[in-house]
Amino acid sequence: MFLPACTDADGTILQRGEGMPASIIPSFLYYCFITGITPGPANLCSLNASMRYGRRRALLQWRGLFTGYWIVSIASVLITYFLGGVLGNSVSVLAWIGAGYLIWMGIRSLLPKRHDADGEEQEEGQSCNFLTGLIVQLTNVKIMLSCLTALSGYVLPYTQSFGSLLLVGIFLPFTGPVCNLAWLFTGAALQKFFRKYEKIINIVMAVSLFYCAFSLIQAVFTR
């Protein structure tokens, strides 16, 4: 299958096996941290489990979260590889979609959140084991979009090599689940901190997500 060559900001042609340029790696790592540490189903699940059942049982559930992330990440590699090969030069559309998703996440973090008592009661009835962690990740739209955005926005514009996509896909499960551990081990202390400085933290997270979105769009115009 013919795959058109990509160019960097200087107009240099990037071969299929070159991977992402070094200049984009800091933005990529920053993106992984921000999308991993922001509140989401897996992070909140880890926080809730550690407060209600203790760290030992919460770690058992975390193994399910980690396994589920692996499955989603590898599936995203396959989807991105075959979709990227079909789109060719139009792969920048994926970057625009990813940037839109990041902007949506940033705006959502600025919106006021309601603490639903019914939601808390429902969480108390959930069991805390490997299977529940696995199910949470396999139905977690946040990490699905995060993996697809990372692969299509930071790798695919520079190379269509399956090896490069797979390498990033293997790396991604060590980002989000590590952030899950941060929520898990800090437990109630982190929850109190977020409640105390919720508005400031939400603004910082939103600005960070907007920056990541800008980086993706900039890459489209400079490649």
What's the per-residue H, E or C state across 87-138? HHHHHHHHHHHHHHHHHHHHHHHHCCCCCCHHHHHHHHCCCCCHHHHHHHHH
Predicted confidence at residue 52, as pLDDT, reads 72
Angle at 123 between CA 119 and CA 129, to 5 degrees: 160
Beta bridge partners of 7: 13
User: Is-above-0.85 flag for pTM?
Assistant: no
- Closest to 171 in 3D by CA, of 74, 35, 62, 51: 74
Predicted confidence at residue 96, as pLDDT, reads 77
CA 52 – CA 43 distance, rounded (Å): 14
Predicted confidence at residue 22, as pLDDT, reads 83
| pLDDT per residue rounded down to tens, the chain (223 residues) | 333 344 444 444 444 445 677 888 898 999 999 888 887 778 877 877 787 777 888 899 999 999 999 999 999 999 888 876 555 455 566 667 767 877 887 787 788 765 544 444 344 435 678 988 898 888 887 888 889 889 888 888 888 889 999 999 999 999 989 988 988 887 656 666 777 777 887 788 788 778 777 876 776 666 5
- CB distance 181 to 39 below 8 Å: no
Please name the residues in contact with 126: beta carbons below 8 A apart, sequence gap of 6 or more: 132
CA 84 – CA 6 distance, rounded (Å): 12
Predicted confidence at residue 120, as pLDDT, reads 44
CA 40 – CA 140 distance, rounded (Å): 9
Neighbours of 142 (CB within 10 A): 19
CA 35 – CA 188 distance, rounded (Å): 21
CA 74 – CA 71 distance, rounded (Å): 5
User: Between β-strands 6-7 and 13-14, what pairing exists: parallel, antiparallel or unpaired?
Assistant: antiparallel
Predicted confidence at residue 73, as pLDDT, reads 95
